[in-house]
A = this chain, B = another copy of it.
């Protein structure tokens, strides 16, 4: 498959454009900025599946009354090192921004904290939130439960999301080490793409609706994604569903409506933890130890077939740097989608013009 030529748009233009669209759709300016920043960050990081392509999905759900434009966050319970927030079916990013502020404040006060959110919605990438916590000199941990598209190990029915786990820690480089992994063998987006292109998928990615192994992408989409490494990824996805869904009072398992198919609020759950590095050792000492860990990892030496060994997050940071300079590459389809939103919400589209320093993709 030949990829169509990308259109590069300046980061700050894309952010402001998305903010204005959301604002025009009824989201308060400050909240719109939070949502737009999380989407543009995903595009900068190269995880376009969680980027501005979500704008029309988000707005579609909001217009159907499935997501509240104004996020009224309620503090349900609180202890010195925990809190539980109810997002009242508002924006996942707005609730997560509040949760991160709270978990950082509590960790600063008591050393560490856990904060949960219930009755929320999609909040972008988990890494966006853990990196924010790492920038405060803390270990950041985040998980959430997502639409049930994955079968537990040995099951034929999708009762699990591909519930991600992200962990980030500060680095002396200013670019935190950051892991953000789905608990599925592969992203469902890759199966959707294969189905679109009439291509087969490798064995082990998915099963049919009858629970049989398949390499047919279309059958796979009617069936279930498989968990990473069988029982391990399955067990991890179950435990993350318990932490983000069962423990917070959010929906969990197969009862969560699917984002794209079901006209009902998803009642997503999020969970965050922060550990203040200074509660364990001076931050400088930790950063020096991280230097050592990063050096050892990157020195490899690489195995045959690999150019180099990376720390978790290296790819993300490299893409962000490149895209900050040269603009964010959008496919013509997504670019056109944004132009349609501009028209629909009466927002000028000049911010979507190609970046002057665009390079060939």
With A151-B303, A211-B304 given, is the CB distance from A238 to B280 under 8 Å?
no
A contact residues, range = 35 or more
B157 touches A286 (CB 8 A): no
Q: Is the CB of B296 within 8 A of A254?
A: yes
Q: For A114, list chain B residues within 8 Å (CB).
A: 111-112, 273, 275, 279
Which residue of the partner chain B has the closest CB to A304? B211
A231: which B residues are within 8 A, CB to CB? 181, 312
Q: State how many angstroms separate the Cβ of A104 from the closest Cβ of chain B.
A: 13
Q: How far is the CB of A207 from chain B (nearest CB, A)?
A: 6
B185 near A155 with CB under 8 A, answer no
The verdict on A129 contacting chain B, using a C-beta distance below 8 Å, is no
Residues in B neighbouring A234, C-beta threshold 8 A:
312
Contact A247 B309 (CB under 8 A): no
A302 to B179, CA, bound (A): 32
In angstroms, Cα B138 to Cα A82, docked, is: 13
Q: Which residues of B contact A211 (CB under 8 A)?
A: 301-304
A159 to chain B, nearest CB (A): 6
A297 within 8 A of B: yes
Q: Which residues of chain B come closer than 8 Å to A302, judged between CB atoms?
A: 154-156, 211
Question: A68-92, CB under 8 A of B: which get 1 and which 0?
Answer: 0000000001011110100000000
* Secondary structure dominating the interface of A: mixed
Task: Report the bound CA distance from A159 to B301 in whole Å.
Answer: 10
A293 touches B82 (CB 8 A): no
Judge whether B81 and A113 touch: CB under 8 Å. Answer: yes
Q: Which of A112, A165, A301 has the most CB of B within 10 A?
A: A112
- Say whether B82 contacts A111, CB under 8 Å: yes
- On whether A156 and B239 interact (CB within 8 A), knowing A112-B81, A228-B228, A229-B185, the answer reads no
Report the minimum CB–CB distance from A326 to chain B (whole Å): 25
Contacts A310-B154, A312-B235; is A281 near B249 (CB within 8 Å)? yes
- Known contacts: A238-B179, A273-B273. The answer to whether A79 contacts B111 by CB under 8 A is yes
Q: Is there contact, CB below 8 Å, between B239 and A301?
A: no
- Complex-state Cα separation, A236 to B165, whole angstroms: 9
Instruction: Please determine whether B312 and A239 come into contact, CB atoms closer than 8 angstroms.
Output: yes
Give complex CA distance A347, B134 in Å: 53
Given contacts A80-B80, A81-B80, contact A116 B280 (CB under 8 A): yes
Given A169-B246, A253-B293; 10 other pairs, CB 8 A cutoff: A79-B279, A81-B111, A111-B113, A152-B300, A154-B303, A155-B300, A156-B303, A179-B239, A247-B280, A249-B280
Q: Which 6 A-B pairs have the closest CB atoms?
A: A211-B303, A79-B111, A82-B111, A154-B306, A235-B312, A81-B81
